[in-house]
Amino acid sequence: MNRDLRNRTYGQDQGLMALDRLGVWLSERRIRRTVGSFAGLQVVDIGCGYDATVARSQLPAVASMTLVDVAISPVLRNHPKVRAIEGRIPKALEEIQDGSQDLVICNSVLEHLWEPAETLRAVWRILAPGGVALVNVPSWRGKRFLEFSAFRLGMSPADEMQDHKAYYDPRDLWPLLVRAGFSPRDIRCGRHTFGLNTFAACRKAADERDGHTAPPSEYFPFPRHPGLLAITSELSLRGRRKMFGQFMEATEPSDRTRILDVGVTPDVSLPDANYFERLYPYLHQVTASSVEDASNLEAVFPGLKFVRTSGVKLPFADQEFDIAFSAAVLEHVGDDDQQRRFVVELLRVARSAYLLTPNRWFPIDFHTMLPLIHWLPRRYHQAILRKVGHEFLSRTENLNLVSRRQLRSLFPPGVDVSLSQHRILGFPSNLVAYARRVDSKPESTDEEQGDALRRGHSGSARPDCG
């Protein structure tokens, strides 16, 4: 095939064959589980195909849908939410404004391009800060299967296989994403569909102006990250409502209780994102903080105050708050010593701390959806993560799961700690720690108590893996 003469769109000349329909269904399922809710999003589907099979099911939910391909069905072109751009990729993307899109889908496109890097750079350009790109491509393992089904069995269009220019394993796709502008810490790249495809979810840094790169959240970033692909947002919210109820019962806050929520996200697209702010009744007493720019939450949750932070050190006075709340942050702050400093810092700025973190001994790690391997010693666990494409999560500074015993060991002397668990199907999936300062010397000042907490555990040994 001439390298520049593709002028027909996938599905334009004939309906999808059985194998194609299966592939589309699997891709749509993966994308839907990664994004969760499309409600209110500005979405682009690059190389959408004539009928935009993957994207069109989300038209009722999105704010707008931009479809890009060499030809698009008139039915879609006339849809009030659709902007149709017909032309060759990547040149057709020049019509899309910089930083204007919340979500870009690039499904089974790169393998048809001689210069995929140009398209990925355009994807990064049109994404809004905090926006997400989803890229799905066939792998080298998939090449053999696809060609056999097309050329030998006739179960998929042979001309589509003839148009393939390359295949991509995670090690092939990841460098292209980095060169396009995505930060390594904001890329999740791995295999799926029995290794026949490579799938990447990439978030554009929340604030490109100062070079800040947003850290991963428990969900990436529409919660966030292939980390919880098997759990939908609605199911997740059910569990979070229960955990929120446990928080309210344990702490009994009033409309005068000052609360600091450490580790919010600017994402508001999913019902379980920032669930504390969605459920808490006294937002005028809540200060939210994050290393990301989540100042948009002040408009979404009237009464809330947002303060951006730069790391573990929090820009607040000793005992400024009654409760420091932190959900699914502890496992991302670093090694054991950094986790200990994080806990001490929470108890410096608040009289009590309420922490939730995934339980290391739950059979599945929700960040990777891989079973049991996180029970191995750390070096073996991390080696396996690197092998299966989770390079980012294979580093201790990005993922350090704790057990109940380890969680208890993070708290310094002079603190009363109550531990509980949230269960899924009878298994303890999340650990909950409610810690309150116990003043052994009632006459001591807040400053003296803060100094004591900072000195606590300064010489502690690393806890075992119990």
- Shared domain for 284 and 395, answered yes or no, is yes
Backbone angles phi, psi at 173, to 5 degrees: -80, -40
| pLDDT, tens digit, 9 for 90 and up, residues 99-112 | 999 999 999 999 99
- Whose CA is closest to 262, among 315, 332, 343, 325? 325
DSSP single-letter state for residue 97 = P
Q: How far apart are CA 201 and CA 34, in angstroms?
A: 8
Sheet of 286-290: strand order equals 305-308, 286-290, 259-262, 321-327, 350-358, 427-437, 415-424
HEC profile for 368-425? CCEECHHHCCHHHHHHHHHHCCCCHHHCCCCCCCECHHHHHHCCCCCEEEEEEEEEEC
pLDDT digits (tens, 9 = 90+) for 247-269: 999 999 999 999 999 999 887 76
Does 298 reside within a domain? yes
Residue where one domain finishes, among candidates 214, 248, 263: 214
Say how far apart CA 90 and CA 126 lie, in whole Å. 12
What single-letter DSSP state applies at residue 151?
I
pLDDT of residue 162: 86
319 and 446 co-located in one domain:
yes
Please check whether residue 12 lies inside any domain of the structure: no
7 within some domain: no
Report yes or no on whether pTM surpasses 0.75: no
How many angstroms separate the first and last alpha carbons of the chain? 60
Residue type, 461: A
Separation CA 167–CA 265 (nearest Å): 34
The answer to the question of residue 223 being in a domain is: no
82 occurs within a structural domain: yes
**CA–CA distances in Å: residue 5 to residues 1, 69, 109, 113, 165:** 8, 14, 15, 12, 14
- Residue 295's domain comprises 233-455
Are 196 and 277 contained in the same domain? no
| Digitized pLDDT (tens) for each residue of the chain, 466 residues in all | 344 445 666 655 666 565 566 666 777 777 877 777 788 889 999 998 888 887 888 888 889 999 999 999 999 999 999 999 999 999 999 999 999 999 999 999 999 999 999 999 999 999 998 889 999 999 998 888 888 888 888 777 787 788 899 999 998 999 999 999 998 878 888 887 778 889 999 998 765 443 333 333 333 333 333 333 333 455 566 788 899 999 999 999 999 999 999 999 887 766 667 899 999 999 999 999 998 888 889 988 999 999 999 877 899 999 999 999 999 999 999 999 999 999 999 999 999 999 999 999 999 998 888 899 999 999 999 999 988 878 888 999 999 999 999 999 999 998 999 999 999 888 999 999 999 988 634 333 444 444 544 444 443 333 333 3
- In a domain, residue 1? The reply is no
**Same domain (yes/no): 36, 162:** yes
- Same domain? For 261 and 155 the reply is no
